Amino acid sequence: MPLLKPISSLQPSQLYISEEKLAAVNTKLTNDINSYDPIPIKLLDKKIVITDGHTRLYALNKLGIKKAKVIWDEDELNWDLYKVCVKWCLSEKITTISDLDGRILNRTDYQKLWIDRCERMWTDHSKL
């Protein structure tokens, strides 16, 4: 069951937003709380971390919405890798979704700076 959490209390696990995804989200999103799926979150190292839905949350924040629908992520994912992503965010001083202002990238840059970086991390981790 979804909960409402202050957007400012949610720690991103992503360094960038895709401008292409943001444009798509903005065409669908409204101020109506039922216009979007809940944002999945997980408690990692005493922080409530966004595990998916960064683009939706960013768009909601830009609409001036202060609280978002969230749901606890119970998927079986490699949480150690999410911890690495959060560490990257903290090292770049990204502690709220609004810290992603100025980090909206075109398709090529998003692929190179975010997707490729994550894929290298997965590959390196699988070698351990």
Mind listing the domains of the chain with CATH numbers? 3-126 (3.90.1530)
Residue 115 carries which DSSP code?
Answer: I
- Give me the long-range contacts of 109-118 (CB less than 8 A, separation at least 24): 109/16, 110/16, 110/17, 110/18, 110/19, 110/20, 113/15, 113/16, 114/14, 114/15, 114/16, 114/18, 117/15, 118/85
Closest residue by Cα to residue 70 from 10, 113, 111, 13: 10
Residue 56: CA atoms inside 13 Å, Cβ hemisphere, count? 21
**Confidence (pLDDT) at 127:** 54
Question: What is the average pLDDT value for the chain, to the nearest integer?
Answer: 92
pLDDT over 50 at 105, yes or no: yes
